[in-house]
Amino acid sequence: MKNCEYQQIDPRALSVSPSSAQNHTEKKAQRPRRKWEVFPGKNRFFCDGRIILARQSGVLPLTLGLIVVTCGLFFAFDCPFLVEHLTVFIPVIGGVLFVFVVISLLRTSFTDPGILPRATPDEAADIEKQIDTSGSSTYRPPPRTKEILINQQVVKLKYCFTCKMFRPPRTSHCSLCDNCVERFDHHCPWVGNCVGKRNYRFFYSFIISLSFLTSFIFGCVITHITLRSQAGKSLLQAIQESPLVICFFSIWSILGLSGFHTYLVASNLTTNEDIKGSWSSKRGAEDSGNPYSYNSIMTNCCVTLCGPMPPSLIDRRGLLPPDEATPAASASDIELPLFAAKNDTHMCTQSTKDVLERMVHSSDFHGLCPPGTPKTTPLEPEDSSTPAPSAEPSPSSTGCSQQHAHQPMATPCPPFSRGSKRDSLHSINPAFRLASPSPSLSRASLILGDAADTGFIPLP
Amino acid sequence: SRPTVFIQRDYSSGTICKFQTKFPSELESRLDKQQFEETIQTLNNLYAEAEKLGGKSYLEGCLACLTAYTIFLCMETHYEKVLKKIARYIKDQNEKIYAPRGLLLTDPIERGLRVVEITIFEDRSIGSGR
């Protein structure tokens, strides 16, 4: 019975759970699907899962275009002149740098940055069980932080409500890609992907080689113009023919970025940590306070750039074993696209929603629980629904839960879900009658009815 | 579903992959504490070997950098080689120690290196009579 309760924590995860629950069965479905097809994050996959990109590829085509156009102009207009007057190595060096830049860029964009797969429902249930040690009658949401000691320094691990797990240290959840990424640096729109543990070295080599390339082109173009103006041609005409303008503007930002990232690499920091100031000015006496730093520039650089290449944890191209609980999976598959447009700010009201969610799904979709199961659950919302929304999310970022409890919220709620919620609430009532006497029944249904009217998003 | 025990990660030494060696109470009736600790400790050592920083890994890193990381497309990394070793070790442990006791170890890589999952078959201890 307890397992049944926990299984309904995240129906979205259920659509991927068959792959993990039965990972030792070798049966194949009629059309074996690959795991990337049911990947819950907002990523796009190409070449049957070999290539991974963020949902918004952002400015990647622009980046590629700028590089190609600049180099094209360089090769077309400057190289012939410089080969004549200087050396044939100019286009060779330019070509090598160009190839290096493009390969690094593509590797950064198409590599999995270190995405952590979401916790299976069993795992999520286990975490909640471990935390909820006071007793199982009252449902408390998992606390948002857990403190651990790393190298004798206290580090707070946050609980990720989307991925249903405590984030490992240095991991952050990217809202654009909707994934937890290990050693999250930043989400780079130029590259169209997050920069994290697995592709940081590609990103770094991209910006370093791009700095060299732009400096090289800039230098060559200046040389070209100087030589041409000495030869008597018009300066303006020479400038027009050159990729000088693009180079000039981009070179400063690229050089600045390279310098910044060199500093980060040398101190074993991520952009995320640096911006948040996680380790700086904590205690004046200690130096750096970064528990991950090896306190040596060489070691830090080697670790970040030349360390062992960790594998991709999401196994994009693995085959999905056929689902055991097909009705459940198909039901959650239907719901999945409807709730794809969820908002992060609604995460804080998840606790109450989870409880109500469980009751909805226990009678409607899954039918795994015997009718007597909601016996304990109906008592929970009437006890905790009113105090919980105001008390529980106080450490959270937004006050949306208070809105949820007291005012109707203008949330875009898909009509399908709302309708199903109302229907299932009516269907729960017989179960309520089984469990509790009529006064509390009316109170419980009143609270639930009120909650449904305020239009909260049913699924996390 | 079957009762499962999750062995969580131990972050006390940083972000390296290491699992807690604390013996879970649910396995007390099934398994020796020593055997469990030995399994987890060996796994931890194997992961440490995969992530070890040393001459060999730096060489691999530098070589990869020089070839613009195209070398990763054709060559198997040191980490992947150790992962295969770990998979073999887990299979071996399952066959020799865990399966005879009605337990199943799941390779942590299938759980994103978050947990070591031990599934308990035949609920003799719970007695719900499957």
Yes or no, beta carbons of A169 and B61 under 8 Å apart: no
Q: Tokens 């499962």 — which residue?
A: B4
Contacts of A169 in chain B (CB under 8 A): 11, 14-15
At which of A306, A324, A349 does a domain end? A306
Yes or no, beta carbons of A291 and B14 under 8 Å apart: yes
In a domain, A73, yes or no: yes
Per-residue pLDDT at A141: 58
Q: With contact defined as beta carbons under 8 Å apart, do A181 and A171 qualify?
A: yes
Query: Which of A127, A201, A302 is the closest to B53 by Cβ?
Result: A302
A151 with A184, same domain: the answer is no
Residue A308 CB contacts under 8 Å (≥ 6 apart), including other chains: B50, B51, B52, B53, B57, B60, B61, B77, B78, B79
Span B33-56, pLDDT tens digits: 898 999 999 999 999 988 888 778
Per-residue pLDDT at A369: 41
Looking at chain A, which residue has its C-alpha nearest residue B108? A313
Interface of B with A in 52-71 (CB under 8 A): 52-53, 57-58, 60-62, 64-65, 68-70
In a domain, A57, yes or no: yes
Contacts of B52 in chain A (CB under 8 A): 308
Any A CB within 8 A of B46 CB:
no
Q: What is the CA radius of gyration of chain A?
A: 28
Yes or no, beta carbons of B51 and A202 under 8 Å apart: no
Which of A7-21, A23-37, A84-98, A186-200 bottoms out in mean pLDDT, i.e. has the lowest? A7-21
DSSP track, A369-420:
S-TTGGGTTTHHHHHHTTHHHHHTTTTSS--HHHHHHHS-------HHHHHH
Yes or no, beta carbons of B70 and A103 under 8 Å apart: yes
Contacts of A268 in chain B (CB under 8 A): none
Q: Which residue from A215, A204, A205, A209 is spatially nearest to A251, judged by alpha carbons? A: A215
Contacts of B62 in chain A (CB under 8 A): 306
Which residue in B11, B46, B73 has the most chain A C-beta atoms within 10 A of its own C-beta, making it the best mutation to test that interface? B11
A231 with A251, same domain: the answer is yes
Any B CB within 8 A of A119 CB:
yes
Share of chain A above pLDDT 90, in %: 8
Query: Which of B12, B106, B110 is the closest to A149 by Cβ?
Result: B12
For residue A313, is pLDDT > 60?
yes
Per-residue pLDDT at A322: 65
At which of A134, A167, A200 does a domain end? A167
Span A239-298, pLDDT tens digits: 665 566 667 777 888 999 999 999 999 888 888 888 887 776 554 444 446 778 888 888
The encoded tokens of residue A11 equal: 């129906």
At which of A101, A132, A167 does a domain end? A167
A226 with A184, same domain: the answer is yes
Query: Which of B11, B53, B57 is the closest to A169 by Cβ?
Result: B11
Average pLDDT over residues A54-69: 84
Q: Report the domain count for chain A.
A: 2
A43 with A142, same domain: the answer is no
In a domain, A404, yes or no: no
Which of A53-62, A404-413, B12-21 bottoms out in mean pLDDT, i.e. has the lowest? A404-413
The encoded tokens of residue A70 equal: 């600049």
For residue A63, is pLDDT > 70?
yes
For residue A164, is pLDDT > 80?
yes
Distance from CA of B101 to the nearest CA of A (A): 18
Q: With contact defined as beta carbons under 8 Å apart, do A254 and A218 qualify?
A: no
A106 with A222, same domain: the answer is yes
Per-residue pLDDT at A210: 93
In a domain, A446, yes or no: no
Per-residue pLDDT at B46: 92
In a domain, A145, yes or no: yes
In a domain, A389, yes or no: no
Write down the pTM of the prediction.
0.67
A225 with A163, same domain: the answer is no
Query: Which of A104, A126, A313 is the closest to B6 by Cβ?
Result: A126
**Mean pLDDT score across all residues of chain B:** 84
Looking at chain A, which residue has its C-alpha nearest residue B107? A23
N- to C-terminal Cα distance for chain A? 22
Interface of A with B in 182-201 (CB under 8 A): 182-183, 201
Per-residue pLDDT at A95: 92
- Return left, alpha or beta for A401; rule: phi > 0 is left, psi -120 to 50 is alpha, else beta: alpha
Q: Which residue from B72, B45, B74 is spatially nearest to B60, judged by alpha carbons? A: B72
A144 with A71, same domain: the answer is no
Per-residue pLDDT at A323: 59
In a domain, A349, yes or no: no
Query: Which of A151, A157, A310 is the closest to B79 by Cβ?
Result: A310
Interface of B with A in 100-129 (CB under 8 A): 104, 106, 109-115, 117
Residues of A known to be catalytic: 188
Residue A88 CB contacts under 8 Å (≥ 6 apart), including other chains: none
Predicted confidence band of residue A19 (pLDDT cuts 50, 70, 90):
very low
In a domain, A252, yes or no: yes
A162 with A226, same domain: the answer is no
Query: Which of B4, B12, B57 is the closest to A308 by Cβ?
Result: B57
For residue A362, is pLDDT > 70?
no
Question: Which range marks the domain in which residue A139 is found?
Answer: 121-167
How many CB contacts within 8 angstroms connect chain A with chain B?
Answer: 112
For residue A413, is pLDDT > 60?
no
Edge-first strand order for the sheet with A179-181 is A115-116, A179-181, A172-174
Predicted confidence band of residue A41 (pLDDT cuts 50, 70, 90):
confident
Per-residue pLDDT at B111: 85
Per-residue pLDDT at A421: 42
Span B82-115, pLDDT tens digits: 899 999 999 999 999 888 888 889 998 888 888 8
A210 with A300, same domain: the answer is yes
Any B CB within 8 A of A219 CB:
no
A112 with A127, same domain: the answer is no
Contacts of A201 in chain B (CB under 8 A): 61, 65, 69
Q: Is residue A75 helix, strand or coil?
A: helix
The encoded tokens of residue A245 equal: 């303008």
